[in-house]
Structure 1
Amino acid sequence: MRFLKSFYIHNTFFWYLAILAAMFMTSYWYKWLYPIAWICTMVLLAMFLFDIVLLYATKNSVKASRSLPQKLSNSDHNPIVMEFISTYDFKTGITVVEELPIQFQKRDFKYNTILTKKEPKIFEYTVRPVERGEYYFGNLNIYVSTPLRIVKRRFLYLKNQMVPVYPSIIQMQKYDFLAISNKLSEFGMKKIRRIGHTQEFEQIKEYVPGDDFRTINWKATAKSNQLMVNQYQDEKSQPIYSVIDTGRVMKMPFNGLKLLDYAINSTLAFSNVALKKNDKTGMISFSKNIETFLPAVQKPTYLNSILEKLYNISTEYTDSDFGLLYAHIKRKVNHRSLLLLYTNFEHITAMRRQLPFLLAIAKKHVLVVVFFENTELEELINTSADDLQGIYHKTIAEKFSMDKKLMQKELQQYGIQTILTKPEELTINTINKYLEIKARGLL
């Protein structure tokens, strides 16, 4: 049974059979071709048996391995590495059929290559998951054939390897490096013009053009006989909370990724940057109930706790209770904090229903409401309308787009900070707003 399960006929063999069939048909008119056709048949049969002997003479002649990362990063292209090595004395052609996790809905993965004896071959491909959870990689099927290409032998490796998909670790690491090197502005982070300065003293340095005259240290200037100024830095150990709405409004997908997952990826990267800047970070997720609450803590290892909580967050099909959120923040968050609220309002009336709770939160804390542009509507707005129905659709799309801008202006009139962003630009814009608030000393 093992032999039968691993035994396959190569496609080339059927071409040989077609040629033989054509020779037998032609021999009806050309009698001299009939014995030649039988000789070819015997030769093909001998080659068939010889090919089987070549493939099955030794066991485990082809070895394979698949290298998976410990965690896959959601919404990113994650590399998967496969390695093959052959101990056959001849060149072998292999076809690799990979059984990818069911979440990818891909059943046509195939890779063809040639192996020489004891010469490893490495193949790398990428996968882009768009859902968090457990992903099971199935069997690695390798079909081996000799240069005769008559039969194939299947080798089966690696049954059911599981790897979890976490929020975007790759994105977090990218911003982590920039935060350490203080080069966030090189990756699209805009430089913020400082209005005044905070009172966190850092050092005394020589004056350079552009420094604030009000920071001149006259005693140090008199001692060194040149202008010296006090240099200040952003205040540290300030509490920062990422507040994630897990209601039905966050279930809307863009580029295969739900708004909730965009918010989760942004929370992880932003929390890491805030910790590198020596601030305290925490997290709240809510819908009809408060699902997750992590108090703000300033510890680098705290990021693992945030990551594990983000991994288990899922959306609900209900409307979120902002009144419950306000009550929870009033009871649990006692110090003035920066609250980044990830939510979405598709209509201005939906925002106005929650406005009293947002205003109540903003009285004690610095509240930043983060909501999303509908990029698919933008595409509709930018296309020309060819008929009356197209004009109608374009007009409605422009109205919804204008509602988003009106919501942003109305929130700003009440003193609430806002971020209206495309989903794919969420992380950059969130970190920009954080740097701006720190630079302006609003917290």
Structure 2
Amino acid sequence: MIYPSARAIVVAGASAPVALLIGVLAPAYWVAGLAFLGFLIVLLILDAALGAAPKDVAVTVGGPRSAAAGSELAVDIQVTFAKGAPTDCEIAIGSHYLLEAPNGLRSHAAIANGRGTTIIPLVAIRRGVAGFEHVWVRWRGPLGLVWKQRQLAVTDEIVIVPDIRALRERSADYSHRDMLHGLTARMQIGEGAEFDSLADFQQGMDRRAIDWKQSARHRKLLAKEYRTERNNNVIIALDSGRTMCEPLVGLPKIDRAVSAALLTAYVALKDGDRVSLFGFDSHPRVSTKPVSGARSFALLQRVAGAVEYSDRETNYTLGLATLATGLQRRSLIVIFTDFADTVSAELMLAAVGTLLKRHLVLFILFRDEELEGFAAAEPNAPEDVTRAVTAAALLRQRRLVVNRLRRLGVHVIEAAHDRAGPALVNAYLEVKQRNLL
């Protein structure tokens, strides 16, 4: 594609009043305006013919082939001209709803020896497969009067996966036995319900742990030591309904939940427990059987990455009832969810009540930092007062629901989006230490 540049349009536009003035003051020379217009057309044709033609350009797209949701990535685009290369060019890529370009989708590249390179920074805002499909390259002719442009089709794709950067950065800590429990190895043996060994009774031990029969036989006080039970069932339920797909600090809540869920799943697998994932919105969507061993983490990661974004309202009754049907033994059920009103909260409370009869339920709620900011902001205008009062009312309703959950016996964690994963890991380890399962 070849079309006039802004310089050619300005020159042509500026010549019109000059030609009109010549026609008025010197009618005999009115053809001078036509002559100049013809000269400009010749220059345009000459500028289009000189230099690189659109067919002489080729594009290579580089960069990562996968990225974590919420992470930054850079697309490296290299342009090559077969002949007549310009000094610089402009490059643009197609937009995609999974990607966001903080600096725009267009960039400049300086050309040297027929080649030029530019980098376009992007941010992955959702999980999925993002493709560019087309890349546009345009450059000016030698005279700067025309633009030459070419659209090239590309097949490069970027797979956006759940964010497990926190796990990669601290995998050594989480895989260490002492770090898993946050206590010494002796405390790990001393707590739990599964008998481990007999040890000499020492000051500070629980007197109820004394084994009187063995103490009489050995003529010294001996106490029973227990170890934390393994092979427990940990079910992570992900609500992917409309409320959980709303953005939270630039990323959907469900992606924040998936990252925290995978972090906890990794810790649980390393600690010998069995983990399964369950996703639901208006209907159950994904479900896995309980798996064990660190090698099973890849399976859980694939399933978590397949949890779709939904615009439907969450059906807690159907989702949690389906979850409970497949559980044959007492389990720790971790539920990532959120609620926007008291009506949906009432349905949630009724569904959770059936799980508490047999299982231990732990809720993860993200703090609504936006509402908290509205409620705490200093009012400078009448609309600020209205906004603060509404936010305070919503927060008060949320607090009432959380208190009701706790009175039912549900363990509730409220954490900021960037602290949800560590907070859940700490809660899981506390459950294990206290032998609540």
TM-score range (shorter-chain normalised) is 0.7 to 0.9
The match for 2:261 among 261, 267, 282 is 267
Deviation at 1:359, TM superposition (A): 4.4
Cα distance between partner residues in 2 of 1:52 and 1:390: 58
Unaligned runs of 5+ in 2: 192-202, 207-224
Deviation string, structure 1 residues 153-210 (Cα, Å, up to 9, x no partner): 22222246554544x2xx21332231224499xxxx9995789823289xxxxxxxxx
Cα distance between partner residues in 1 of 2:156 and 2:412: 43
The aligned counterpart of 2:164 is 172
The match for 2:124 among 116, 125, 128 is 128
AA in 1 matched with 2:138: Y
The aligned counterpart of 2:278 is 284
**Are the counterparts in 1 of residues 175 and 270 from structure 2 also a CA contact under 8 Å?**
no
Cα distance between partner residues in 1 of 2:49 and 2:386: 71
The aligned counterpart of 2:236 is 242
The aligned counterpart of 1:394 is 388
**Are the counterparts in 2 of residues 198 and 441 from structure 1 also a CA contact under 8 Å?**
no
Deviation string, structure 1 residues 311-354 (Cα, Å, up to 9, x no partner): 2434363452447625643x433344332111223456754554
**Are the counterparts in 2 of residues 345 and 371 from structure 1 also a CA contact under 8 Å?**
no
Deviation string, structure 1 residues 52-84 (Cα, Å, up to 9, x no partner): 23235x675332112354445333333322222
1:402 match: secondary structure:
helix
The match for 1:114 among 110, 115, 132 is 110
The aligned counterpart of 1:199 is 189
> Any residues of structure 2 matched to 1:135-146 within 5 Å, and which?
135-146=130-141
> Any residues of structure 2 matched to 1:363-382 within 5 Å, and which?
363-382=357-376
Amino-acid identity (%): 15
The aligned counterpart of 1:48 is 44
TM-aligned CA distance change 1:316 to 1:301, over 3 Å:
farther
1:411 match: secondary structure:
helix
Cα distance between partner residues in 1 of 2:335 and 2:286: 14
The aligned counterpart of 1:7 is 2
**Are the counterparts in 1 of residues 241 and 311 from structure 2 also a CA contact under 8 Å?**
yes
Deviation at 1:10, TM superposition (A): 2.0
**Are the counterparts in 1 of residues 164 and 262 from structure 2 also a CA contact under 8 Å?**
yes
TM-aligned CA distance change 1:251 to 1:36, over 3 Å:
closer
Cα distance between partner residues in 2 of 1:313 and 1:59: 41
TM-aligned CA distance change 1:23 to 1:430, over 3 Å:
same
Deviation at 1:105, TM superposition (A): 8.9
Cα distance between partner residues in 1 of 2:352 and 2:97: 41
**Are the counterparts in 1 of residues 106 and 120 from structure 2 also a CA contact under 8 Å?**
no
Cα distance between partner residues in 1 of 2:110 and 2:26: 41
1:313 and 2:308 are equivalent in the alignment: yes
1:124 match: secondary structure:
strand
1:199 match: secondary structure:
helix
1:97 match: secondary structure:
strand
1:16 match: secondary structure:
helix
> Any residues of structure 2 matched to 1:154-233 within 5 Å, and which?
154-159=149-154, 161-166=156-161, 168=162, 171-182=163-174, 197-199=187-189
TM-aligned CA distance change 1:67 to 1:34, over 3 Å:
same
AA in 2 matched with 1:369: F
2:288 match: secondary structure:
strand
TM-aligned CA distance change 1:198 to 1:407, over 3 Å:
farther
**Are the counterparts in 1 of residues 260 and 424 from structure 2 also a CA contact under 8 Å?**
yes
The match for 2:80 among 85, 89, 93 is 85
2:397 match: secondary structure:
helix
The aligned counterpart of 1:340 is 334
The match for 1:65 among 60, 65, 68 is 60
Q: TM-score, normalised by structure 2?
A: 0.74
Q: How big is the alpha-carbon RMSD for the aligned residues of Structure 1 and Structure 2? A: 4.4
Cα distance between partner residues in 2 of 1:407 and 1:193: 33
TM-aligned CA distance change 1:39 to 1:319, over 3 Å:
closer
Cα distance between partner residues in 1 of 2:308 and 2:414: 23
Q: TM-score, normalised by structure 1?
A: 0.73
Cα distance between partner residues in 2 of 1:233 and 1:11: 78
1:430 and 2:420 are equivalent in the alignment: no
Cα distance between partner residues in 2 of 1:43 and 1:116: 32
The aligned counterpart of 2:220 is none
Cα distance between partner residues in 2 of 1:85 and 1:284: 49
Deviation at 1:102, TM superposition (A): 5.2
Cα distance between partner residues in 1 of 2:85 and 2:382: 69
Which region of structure 1 is more displaced relative to structure 2, 96-105 or 78-87? 96-105
TM-aligned CA distance change 1:200 to 1:172, over 3 Å:
farther
AA in 2 matched with 1:139: H
The aligned counterpart of 1:207 is none
TM-aligned CA distance change 1:113 to 1:366, over 3 Å:
same
AA in 1 matched with 2:188: T
1:313 match: secondary structure:
coil
AA in 1 matched with 2:119: F
Cα distance between partner residues in 1 of 2:267 and 2:54: 53
Deviation at 1:242, TM superposition (A): 0.8
Cα distance between partner residues in 2 of 1:346 and 1:362: 23
* Count of aligned pairs: 403
**Are the counterparts in 2 of residues 337 and 366 from structure 1 also a CA contact under 8 Å?**
yes
The match for 2:96 among 96, 101, 117 is 101
TM-aligned CA distance change 1:433 to 1:123, over 3 Å:
same
The match for 2:355 among 361, 366, 372 is 361
